[in-house]
């Protein structure tokens, strides 16, 4: 792996970390806003609600990300398979056309020589 690949990988990792941190902070703010509106909660109860909500949001986000990853992987496999089929068909057609052209050239040469 050269330096540019390593740098690209590092940037991707940083981007992923910043995405998750932003999501976690947003979830925490939303949970805090929700808990603040519920009357009669102790600080411990508010903290538990906030913690539970943030953990639930992170879990759901991971599940969604995994689902998207699985879907993209399946689509990539499908397209790779389809591309291989098209490539084999193109190679077969090119081979057939080459053989026909070669046969025609031989026929023309034999016809003009005789």
Locate the domains of the chain by residue range: 3-113
Which residues make Cβ contacts (< 8 Å) with residue 27, sequence separation at least 6? 53, 54, 57, 58
pLDDT tens profile 1-28? 688 888 888 888 899 889 888 988 998 8
Flag whether pLDDT at 114 surpasses 70.
no
Residue 47 buriedness (CB in 10 A; 0-12 / 13-18 / 19+): middle
């Amino acid at each position: 792996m050269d330096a540019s690949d390593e740098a690209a990988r590092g940037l991707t990792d940083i981007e992923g970390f910043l995405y998750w941190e932003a999501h976690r902070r947003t979830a925490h703010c939303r949970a805090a806003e929700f808990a603040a509106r519920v009357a009669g909660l102790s600080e411990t109860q508010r903290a538990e609600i906030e913690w539970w909500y943030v953990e639930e949001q992170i879990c759901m986000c991971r599940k969604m990300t995994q689902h998207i990853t699985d879907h993209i992987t399946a689509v990539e496999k499908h397209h790779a398979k389809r591309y291989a089929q098209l490539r084999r068909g193109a190679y077969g057609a090119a081979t057939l056309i080459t053989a026909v052209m070669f046969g025609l050239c031989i026929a023309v040469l034999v016809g003009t020589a005789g």
